Amino acid sequence: RRVPKLKHFPIVNPHNYTVINVGKLNALAPKTEVSLESLMEAGIITSNDGPLKVLGDGELTISLTVKAAAFTQSAKQKIEAAGEVGKYYPRTPNKTPKTINN
């Protein structure tokens, strides 16, 4: 018997990120360490939707150390071309691990 495909099925574990483009990082002072917390304090990001992901739109003219959970390939190349390296900090799970009750 044929079963129809289920369309619009919800994603069980969606990956929500707080995203920022490389071009917006030029508003920060050179040689600083950029993280989600520092961007919130500077007012560049207003909402925290999850771990930080850096996208590659724009040009980076200053040297920064970027701490993020994810980078696009073009963002990583632009950060390295500016003279610094992006540091990966993996996503932390939102759920606590399940325990077995005896």
Contact 84, 65 (CB under 8 A): yes
The reported pLDDT for the residue numbered 95 is: 56
Q: How confident is the model at residue 99 (pLDDT cuts 50, 70, 90)?
A: low
Segments making up each domain of the chain, as ranges: 18-88
The reported pLDDT for the residue numbered 93 is: 55
Write out the H or E segment, with its range, that includes residue 21: strand 18-21
CATH topology of domain 18-88: Ribosomal Protein L15; Chain: K; domain 2 (3.100.10)
Amino acid in the structure at residue 17: Y
pTM of the model: 0.73
Alpha-carbon distance values, 97 to 35, 79, 93, 94 (Å): 27, 35, 9, 10
Task: Give pLDDT tens digits for 31-67.
Answer: 888 999 999 999 999 988 889 999 999 999 898 888 9
Give all strands of the β-sheet with 33-34 in edge-to-edge order: 33-34, 65-68, 86-88
